[in-house]
Structure 1
C-alpha cells in the first residue's frame, strides 16, 4: 500500500500535495472510503465518528463508510470489492488497540497487503495501528493479547500530536520517555506533519515539528 500516516489528517498544503502524489490523480477524481471504527473505542462519544466523516471530505468524487465491527456479519464477497474499488482508505483516530483488534477480526488486516494501488491515510490511531507497537502511553482498551502490539505493517512506531497545546501528555519530554520504552525506530510528529511511505521509501512531509528517534534511516 501507499501510506500517508498523520496525526490529524490533511491539515496543510504540503500534506495535501503528498496525498495527491500518492493518488496519482486529483482528489476530485478519487473515491474515498472512511473507516470510523477507532472512534467507537475512545472517549469521544458518538459525535467523534461523525466529526471524522464530516471532516474527511476534501472534495472526493465519492465518499463511503466502512464500519469494521459490522464486517463479520457481511459476506466477504460483498465488502471486499468495496475496499478494492476505493482509491483511498481514510482511517479514523480513537483507540489504537480497539482498531487493531477489529482490523484483524474483520479480515481487513489480511486484505491490506494486497491493496498495492490503494492509498491509506491514517489519522492518529489510524496511523499508529500500522506500527509494530504503541507503548504504554497509548494503551487504553485492553486487547485479547494484553500487550501493546499492533499490525506491524511498517517498521517504526509513531508518537502523534507532538506539543499539542491542549495536553502535556504530548510534550517532547513525554515523547522522549515513550521512545525510550519503544527502544526501536520511532517518530514523534505534530498535527502539521505526515509520514509518507511509497514503495518502501519513508519520507517526512511537514509544515510543523517532528523528531526521529533511532539510528539514521
Structure 2
C-alpha cells in the first residue's frame, strides 16, 4: 500500500502532485472510497461534520472527496461487520484510493480491526491510502496520550505500518495545544522517529522511501 499521510488533506499543489504520482494516472481517471469512521470517536465531531466532510462542504478548497475523482463512494467501517466479506471486500479491492478522514485514531484503529480492513491492507500493494489527521496517525506505531479522546485512559498503540509517529495540525490557529513546544513535549514520550506537520504538509511512504512534502512547516524528532 502507498501512503500519503496528511494533516489537513490535499491542501496544495505539491501534495496533489504527490497523490497523482502515487496513483500513476490522473485523479479524473481514479476511483475513490471515503472513510469517515474516525469522526464518530472524536467528541468534537457530530453528524453535521461527517456530512460536511462527505459532501466536501468545509470550505472553498477541495480537501478529499471534491478533488475531481472518476467516482467516490462512502465506506463506513462500523457497518462492515454486519456484511458478508464477499460483499464489501470487492469494493475495497476495486478502488484506486482510500480517503480516510480525521477524528479519533484509536477509534478508527478499533474499527479497522473489527471490520477486517486492517487484515486486508497487505493484499493491496497498489492502493493509495490518503489520510487526514487521525486517518494518517492510525498508520503509525503510537499516537501519544495527548490524542486519546475516545478512551483517554486507554493504550495509544495503533497499526504500526510506518516506523514513525505523527503530530498533526502544527501551529493551527486557535489551537494552543498544537504549538511546536507542545509537539516537542509529545515527541519526548514517543520512542524513535516522529514528525510534527502542519496542514500544508504531508508524508509519502512508498516501499522503504519516506518523503516529506511541504509548502508549510514541519519538524522531525528523533529519540
Do both proteins adopt the same fold according to a TM-score greater than 0.5, normalized to the shorter chain?
yes
TM-score range for the pair, normalised by the shorter chain length: over 0.9
SS of aligned partner of 2:33: strand
Query: Structure 1 stretches (4+) deviating beyond 4 angstroms?
Result: none
In structure 1, the partner of 2:36 is 36
In structure 2, the partner of 1:150 is 158
The unaligned stretches of length 5 or more in structure 2 are 57-64
Whether the 8 Å contact between 1:128 and 1:157 is mirrored in structure 2 is yes
Bigger Cα displacement from structure 2, 182-191 vs 48-57:
48-57
Q: Aligned partners of 2:78, 2:167: CA distance in 1, in Å?
A: 26
1:149-186 deviation line (CA, Å, top 9, x unaligned) = 00100000000000111201110000000000113210
In structure 2, the partner of 1:86 is 95
1:65-108 deviation line (CA, Å, top 9, x unaligned) = 00000000000000000001000000010011110100000000
Q: Aligned partners of 2:40, 2:122: CA distance in 1, in Å?
A: 25
1:182 and 2:183 matched = no
TM-score (norm 1): 0.96
Q: Aligned partners of 1:27, 1:196: CA distance in 2, in Å?
A: 17
SS of aligned partner of 1:179: helix
SS of aligned partner of 2:202: strand
Aligned-residue offset at 1:23 = 0.2
Please give the residue correspondences for 1:9-20 in structure 2 after superposition, counting only pairs within 5 Å.
9-20=9-20
In structure 1, the partner of 2:105 is 96
Whether the 8 Å contact between 1:195 and 1:202 is mirrored in structure 2 is yes
Whether the 8 Å contact between 2:12 and 2:200 is mirrored in structure 1 is yes
Q: Aligned partners of 2:50, 2:217: CA distance in 1, in Å?
A: 27
Aligned-residue offset at 1:41 = 1.2
Whether the 8 Å contact between 2:148 and 2:154 is mirrored in structure 1 is no
SS of aligned partner of 1:72: helix
Root mean square deviation, CA, Å: 1.2
1:5-24 deviation line (CA, Å, top 9, x unaligned) = 00010000000000000000
Q: Aligned partners of 1:107, 1:20: CA distance in 2, in Å?
A: 28
Please give the residue correspondences for 1:44-193 in structure 2 after superposition, counting only pairs within 5 Å.
44-55=45-56, 56-142=65-151, 146-193=154-201
Q: Aligned partners of 2:108, 2:49: CA distance in 1, in Å?
A: 14
Aligned-residue offset at 1:124 = 0.3
Q: Report the count of equivalent residues.
A: 214
Aligned-residue offset at 1:44 = 1.2
SS of aligned partner of 2:189: helix
The partner residue of 2:210 within 191, 199, 202 is: 202
Whether the 8 Å contact between 1:38 and 1:96 is mirrored in structure 2 is yes
